[in-house]
Structure 1
């Protein structure tokens, strides 16, 4: 089966997009990111199929995303429906490739949650597969589509804080703090810094566990199924073009829900001021994008004021965003993620129609993952590591067991 979108676009017929959703609630998860409602309210969209092996409350699940029919397996839906796009909602990267392969082979486009994969070799396979079958794939990185992050980039590019010097990024620093935080949430910070400053040139890093540097045999138990991993504390420094440095830090157990303070976010210091944004979801108060227009170091005399956001993007014929969904099952509390999903979905549709690439592709996801690989490689080798990495092609194993680590540790 091949998605039949091109003919309709070529002759100017109004295209009705047929969407399939895969959200298997039978699998344990810390909570999903609302991808299943990304296409809600968009013009000329029909959610024709919904895959969930768990039939409990299925009518309610179908109603939330306006789905017409329930399937218990992906194969059933692919065999029964003429789909244009499939939404892969799982946050577990190990789930992605087994779904991506049959979807791409049928010429169907995809919207997929992050992290795309934990293997650079698998990321390259995904890229090659989507290119071979000429399908578009958008990765759900809210950095590239939520207004607040785009405003931050616009202000930096316009010189609002002068020349950027250093970006200070932190993970959530909760019970997953350290290496797991680097992967599950740090992937946002990696993509965020690349979005602002381009590809990194090199990285220095230190990963420790119980106060001692990790070795190739160190292991730590993870909350989510993303091992093998090591390290409960991570510090990394990336070098970007124009002498910009980007930091990432995560320590286990710093997050205190009762305090309401958020560690996760990015502060960009420039020669004329500072921009700061916390990646907030479930806690109050919500920290908006803030700017300090003082050239002093931010830890001394920064005087922050909120930045007003102005949305200029429009989706012709779209219904208003239903923010009442925020905080319901598998949908984050803060509207910016709902907004980012909507604009990601619309961007994907527009790119299919115009044969362009979405603004967050498997290439972007792969390059953010490469930054994480670089952190492990730099810490284990005790050396500054340059990008692009080499040697990872020798192994399918993830992270610490990957070939790039073995290569860099050889005498």
Structure 2
């Protein structure tokens, strides 16, 4: 276990946080785009730039006049714009935070940021509404050497690399499958897959590689969803159908990953996350919770004859106390990803959760829709059609 503890400590140290304080003389200029009433400013993607020592939030934009004034007051920022393009022209920012939760705005905002000369973009999850939009932004960002980071904040959790190391070194024996679930609340089904399931798919992608194929079914009130069930989803999700979804992905290393969501499933959100099922143990990952992960030793298919207990996993190791006192702030309030984006800009490397990974999660969602459109057929990656599949249902 000593080697594993070292690897976990190294991963945590790579995201270590100096004391927060005033911006230094080499600080990067940051701006934030929100849209009150259409996704607002996301999950705090605006204020993090005020808490880092090497960034300074210099302006914000919001097309809603009342929302703009409220945001200026809340953030104590003097410069506010109702047009984010004008903000880019007048401020020439280094970093642009694309904050609205409504993803149908993400592509145009991020593309304008790239064209303005920004060096880095931090964008609310999920990334964009279609693989085609992701393709467009990736091509533009590569051409202009702009770093795009996606706000799948659990991807930056210092415990996650340690969990992957536990899998690779056989702590749970042979990894047999990964089971993922959404929250299963009123948004169950395709809405849950987009809004919350992308967190789950992003973590699975990190742990076991890229998807190779997908088969899935969308259900509406217990029957297969039909073209008449297709409608525009909330939060800029685009076309969707089904209050239950059952998707099966084959990953590049041969592991099968499933994602299931059923509206109002009665689990009280407890299933939101992943189960990594191995021949000698199971690891549970609870999205947005602390501790992030737990280990249950033992063959999961053998009926236990003695009581067993889940053991917390932290960045320090199995059953070890969490070493970081600022963990909640750094994960929930985007400290880790923001610091990583700054480092990616300075070191000219890709962020830990970059646009390519963001595209993979979007494509995994669309693959489930495409498979259902083809009556549950096995759909290979990359997807041939780059739009929302339900537009062709």
- Specify the TM-score bucket, using the shorter chain as the normaliser: 0.7 to 0.9
Q: 1:102 to 1:288 in 2, by over 3 A?
A: closer
Alignment of structure 1 residues 280-319 onto 2, 5 Å: 280=288, 288-297=292-301, 303-310=308-315
Alignment counterpart, residue 377 of structure 1, candidates 350, 364, 370: 370
Residue 338 (structure 2) pairs with residue 345 (structure 1): yes
Q: Deviations over 1:105-148 (max 9, x none)?
A: 12202111112211111111111111222211111111320234
For residue 90 of structure 1, report the CA deviation from its aligned partner. 0.7
Aligned with 1:32: secondary structure? coil
Q: 1:255 to 1:47 in 2, by over 3 A?
A: farther
RMSD value, Cα? 2.9
Q: Deviations over 1:329-373 (max 9, x none)?
A: xxxxx646425x211111111111111111112111111111112
Aligned with 1:118: secondary structure? coil
State the partner residue of 1:326. none
Aligned with 1:33: secondary structure? coil
Q: 1:64 to 1:149 in 2, by over 3 A?
A: farther
State the partner residue of 2:8. none
Larger displacement relative to structure 2 (291-300 or 184-193): 291-300
State the partner residue of 1:6. none
Residue 372 (structure 2) pairs with residue 367 (structure 1): no
Q: Provide the rounded CA distance (Å) in 1 between the counterparts of 2:225 and 2:67.
A: 45
* Structure 1 unaligned regions, length at least 5: 1-12, 313-319, 324-333, 406-411
Q: If the length of structure 1 is used for normalisation, what is the TM-score?
A: 0.79
Larger displacement relative to structure 2 (365-374 or 56-65): 56-65
Aligned with 1:206: secondary structure? strand
State the partner residue of 1:386. 380
State the partner residue of 1:158. 169
Aligned with 1:237: secondary structure? strand
Alignment counterpart, residue 398 of structure 1, candidates 356, 366, 388: 388
Q: 1:211 to 1:310 in 2, by over 3 A?
A: closer
Alignment counterpart, residue 233 of structure 2, candidates 218, 222, 225: 222
For residue 290 of structure 1, report the CA deviation from its aligned partner. 1.2
Q: Deviations over 1:9-42 (max 9, x none)?
A: xxxx9622111111222x2449831211232322
Kindly tell me the number of residue pairs found equivalent between the two proteins. 360
Q: Provide the rounded CA distance (Å) in 1 between the counterparts of 2:349 and 2:31.
A: 22
State the partner residue of 2:6. none
Larger displacement relative to structure 2 (371-380 or 82-91): 371-380
Q: Is the 8 A contact 1:49 1:77 kept in 2?
A: yes
State the partner residue of 1:357. 350
Q: Provide the rounded CA distance (Å) in 1 between the counterparts of 2:259 and 2:173.
A: 22
Q: If the length of structure 2 is used for normalisation, what is the TM-score?
A: 0.82
Alignment of structure 1 residues 99-248 onto 2, 5 Å: 99-108=109-118, 109-220=120-231, 222-248=233-259
Q: 1:66 to 1:349 in 2, by over 3 A?
A: farther
For residue 216 of structure 1, report the CA deviation from its aligned partner. 4.2
For residue 279 of structure 1, report the CA deviation from its aligned partner. 2.1
Q: Provide the rounded CA distance (Å) in 2 between the counterparts of 1:265 and 1:298.
A: 23
Aligned with 1:374: secondary structure? helix
Q: Provide the rounded CA distance (Å) in 2 between the counterparts of 1:31 and 1:213.
A: 36
Q: Provide the rounded CA distance (Å) in 1 between the counterparts of 2:234 and 2:51.
A: 35
* Structure 2 unaligned regions, length at least 5: 1-23, 318-324
Q: Provide the rounded CA distance (Å) in 1 between the counterparts of 2:114 and 2:145.
A: 8
For residue 66 of structure 1, report the CA deviation from its aligned partner. 5.8
Q: 1:206 to 1:57 in 2, by over 3 A?
A: closer
Aligned with 2:125: secondary structure? coil
Residue 270 (structure 2) pairs with residue 270 (structure 1): no
Q: Provide the rounded CA distance (Å) in 1 between the counterparts of 2:29 and 2:117.
A: 13
Q: Is the 8 A contact 1:144 1:150 kept in 2?
A: no
State the partner residue of 2:85. 75
